[in-house]
Amino acid sequence: MSTADRLVESTRELLWERGYTGTSPKAIQQRAGAGQGSMYHHFTGKPDLARAAIERTAAEMRAAAEAQFAAPGTAVERVTAYLRRERDVLRGCPIGRLTQDPDVMADASLRAPVEETLGWLRGRLAGVLEEGRARGELDPALDVRATAAALVAVLQGGYVIARAEGSAEPFAQAVTGALGLLAGAAVTPPPGGRPPAPPAPPR
């Protein structure tokens, strides 16, 4: 791993552990095993390095989510795989936690990848649900955008409650509850296993 990569990875870890204010240039350098000269050779300063770290975390988060969203299966199966995938719940969401950091939210450059990632997640979930609705797997009346926003809110709220209680159980309960509500919008397939075809568009 190059020095620049070590600096970015160290910053990612520290931001997740300590937040932006608690992540000092000295702490980054110590964890990365790099000197001050190396840090400022690759980055103009802490904000520049933090932006690179947040962007890398965001890209990693999107790639992991896309692996479930693009997999075979019904919309509910893919959403379930995403919601139930293994997570370090008590550490919180590495992107979501940054929304609670006033220094990140006050800096447009640092806030942008956080906002973009959460917006992408809502949009991608809505797209998966729309696919399911178009294929007759979900109730045609389902509001896919509102449902996607609710699912993201359940995830982020689940992290907060789990951290507050020091247990992953509230997160698991929140996910189970959300999936139960989503199951209520699923259309029962007829005998033979295929869901009914969506209605033809009006001419």
Could you list the pLDDT tens digit for every one of the 203 residues in the chain? 799 999 999 999 999 888 898 899 999 999 999 988 989 889 998 999 999 999 999 999 999 999 999 999 999 999 999 999 999 999 999 999 999 999 999 999 999 999 999 999 999 999 999 999 999 999 999 999 999 999 999 999 999 999 999 999 999 999 999 999 999 999 876 555 554 544 554 44
DSSP letter at 96 equals G
99 is a domain residue: yes
Q: Would 48 be classed as within a structural domain?
A: no
* Cβ neighbour number for residue 160 with a 10 Å cutoff: 17
CATH of the domain at 95: 1.10.357.10
Residue 27 is assigned to a structural domain of this protein: no
Q: Please give the torsion angle defined by the CA atoms of residues 61, 63, 66 and 72, in that order, rounded to the nearest 10 degrees.
A: -130
* Residue 46, in any domain of the structure: no
* 169 is a domain residue: yes
In a domain, 158, yes or no: yes
DSSP string over 16-48: HHHTTTT--HHHHHHHHT--HHHHHHH-SSHHH
Residues 6 or more apart whose Cβ sits within 8 Å of residue 10: 28, 31, 32
- Domain range holding 90? 60-183
* DSSP bridge pairs for 34: none
- Provide the number of structural domains found in the chain: 1
Distance CA 54, CA 51 (A): 5
In this prediction, residue 131 carries a pLDDT of 97
Residue 4 lies in a domain: no
Q: Give a yes or no: residue 40 inside a domain.
A: no
Instruction: Give the SS3 label for residue 186.
Output: strand
* C-beta separation of 70 from 43 below 8 A: no
